[in-house]
A and B are shown apart, each in its own frame.
Chain A
């Protein structure tokens, strides 16, 4: 199975900050990497697919990058509604595995 490791596990940031979350795959997944946002008691929401393509309706302050084994999710100018947990997920091969999550908290 491909292991997905996110860092950090949690971070504290202020409104307006730029935040970067890293996701590392245990083997190359080319660009088959998706990012989700989850708020408490809600289902995850797709933000970015294929490593860098913004899902329809997602604000442009979210950007994804990377390829191979190393990927990033950057949130430019953090907004109050962005405080949530973020997950990466590989769609390269079954089983379709998720990272352990990164919780973005208010400083």
Chain B
């Protein structure tokens, strides 16, 4: 069964840092681009960052550029999101999502999602 399992969320003060992880199983992880997508409480869905299957191509939303870093360890089938200089507006459920198409240079459609991990930034 194809599965994504996020972890690492929690409460942090403004200006703090968190590292999210997403463990993948049931598919050839290195063949697919992966993304982080977030959803603030009661709000819509926002794409945050994407990384290609090899890790060589990375992209960020302007709202997180310079503060968040996406990475992946294909030997561990795990995706990461290092979040620094966190702000209240970063509070959201963070989902990792798998691209639908193999070897794509950028997200095509997100066909598998994790259950999400909640990040709360508050003093």
* A interface residues with partner B (beta carbon < 8 Å): 34, 36, 38, 43-46, 49-50, 55, 87, 89, 91, 94-101
Contacts and interface: CB of A to CB of B under 8 A. Distances in A.
Interface of B: 35, 44-47, 50, 59, 61-62, 95, 100, 106-111, 113-116
Contacts of A91: 106-109
Given A94-B106, A95-B61, A46 B45 contact: no
B113 A98 contact: no
A90 to B, nearest CB: 10
Contacts of A55: 109, 111
A96 B107 CA distance: 8
Contacts of A100: 44
Contacts of A34: 109-110
A46 B45 CA distance: 13
A87 B113 CA distance: 15
Contacts of A50: 109
Nearest to A93: B106
A49 B47 contact: no
Which of A43, A44, A89, A99 is most buried by chain B, counting CB atoms within 10 A of its CB? A43
A75 to B, nearest CB: 19
Nearest to A35: B109
A36 B107 CA distance: 15
Cβ-closest 4 pairs across A and B: A43-B113, A49-B109, A34-B109, A96-B47
A98 B47 contact: yes
A89 to B, nearest CB: 8
B63 to A, nearest CB: 9
B113 A97 contact: no
Which of A34, A44, A96 is most buried by chain B, counting CB atoms within 10 A of its CB? A96
